[in-house]
Amino acid sequence: MKKISLLLIIFGLSCFCAKGFCQGNDDLVLTTYYPAPNGVFMKLRLLPRNDISPTANCTQRGELFYDNTGNQMYLCDGSIWTSIGSLWEKDVDAAGAFFIRPKSADWDVAIGSDQAEAKLDVRGGDILLSSASDATLTLETNGSPAVELKDNSTSNAWIIQAHDGSYLSFLNGSPLMVIKNSPMVVGIATETPDLNYKLDVNGSIWAKNIWAQRVTFTGCSTTGRICTKTISFPANRFTSSPTVFCSAGPNMRGAASASPYSGLMCTVSSVSPSSVTISIGNNKSTTQGFDGNKNVNIIAFEP
């Protein structure tokens, strides 16, 4: 009989609440004896609220409320509201694989830091990218792959691939290297390599047994026939006297009565492991000389 009366009371309260009379902003205090004679509460529902800001201060430690806007439950610690719900949600991608993401697309993720300066900010440790086959890091622009960094396990090498097929550029304040795809050329220390050459180097070349340099001859008399300049090799570059070649294009001028020669002669006067002396000019005429400064290309290599 007691059970029937209790059921009637619960049924009456349910009807009363179904009419909307139970919803409101009143506090509800639940107490029970320990041990609970009839087990535990199976469910507890909080009315979703829009009038409490999770960023506002609170004073009643232990209070709970459910934020209807962010779909989060918050607990008051006596001063601020702290989320006690999951900040992540699980979903399934098109391939049927599970993944997790922050509940809000506007949130950033910080690991090892109390602030995030990017969508993912990792500090104080390394990032491990591992895969059963070839690990790949893809950079996208507007949803389309732009650059891939891939570990090729077959050839034990790294592959850097630009998906748009144009070029890869490596910068450090100034150009370091540019690799263009059409035509296939490489530029070092320049962003605009000459497309007529496979390799365009803006500066000196220093390899193990080769050295190349463009030298400017200045201060030569405009009426003199020969101009000589000594160029020093990098320290400890060669252990013996290298073989040296030089080239110089037309840069002569002549008197009105003279017939200008077609080009400027370039000869190696002397060479040692530390330096080379280059002479340019034309010893066939005393009336011809230099028309301003002259660039000379020098290549030295040690057999």
Q: How far apart are CA 39 and CA 28, in angstroms?
A: 20
In this structure, the dihedral spanned by the alpha carbons of residues 77, 81, 86 and 88, taken in order and rounded to 10 degrees, is -140
Asked if residue 219 and residue 295 are part of one domain, the reply reads yes
* DSSP H/E element including 255: none
Q: How far apart are CA 41 and CA 33, in angstroms?
A: 13
Asked if residue 282 and residue 216 are part of one domain, the reply reads yes
Q: How far apart are CA 68 and CA 110, in angstroms?
A: 25
Asked if residue 97 and residue 78 are part of one domain, the reply reads no
Q: Per residue in 45-92, pLDDT tens?
A: 888 888 888 888 899 898 999 988 877 888 898 888 888 766 777 788
Q: What is the pTM of this model?
A: 0.41
Q: Does some domain include residue 234?
A: yes
- Written as six digits, the tokens of 275 are 């330096």
Cα 96 to Cα 92, 105, 135, 203, 239, distances in angstroms? 6, 21, 20, 54, 65
Q: Where is the domain boundary, 147, 169, 202?
A: 202
Q: Does some domain include residue 127?
A: no
DSSP secondary structure string for all residues of 194-219: -TTSSEEESS-EE-SSEEEEEEEE-S
- 294 C-beta neighbours (distance < 10 Å), count: 22
Asked if residue 177 and residue 223 are part of one domain, the reply reads no
Residue with tokens 């034309």: 282
Asked if residue 76 and residue 105 are part of one domain, the reply reads no
Q: Does some domain include residue 164?
A: yes
Asked if residue 222 and residue 172 are part of one domain, the reply reads no
pLDDT average per 10 residues of sequence, the chain (303 residues): 45 47 54 57 79 87 88 86 77 86 83 88 87 80 76 72 69 78 84 85 80 78 68 87 80 41 70 89 54 76 83
pLDDT at 263: 53
Asked if residue 268 and residue 197 are part of one domain, the reply reads no
The total domain count for the chain is 4
Q: Does some domain include residue 258?
A: yes
Query: Which domain covers residue 147, as residue numbers?
Result: 136-202
Asked if residue 223 and residue 195 are part of one domain, the reply reads no
Under 8 Å between Cβ of 151 and 136: yes
* CATH code assigned at 284: 2.60.40.2080
Asked if residue 293 and residue 246 are part of one domain, the reply reads yes
pLDDT at 132: 77
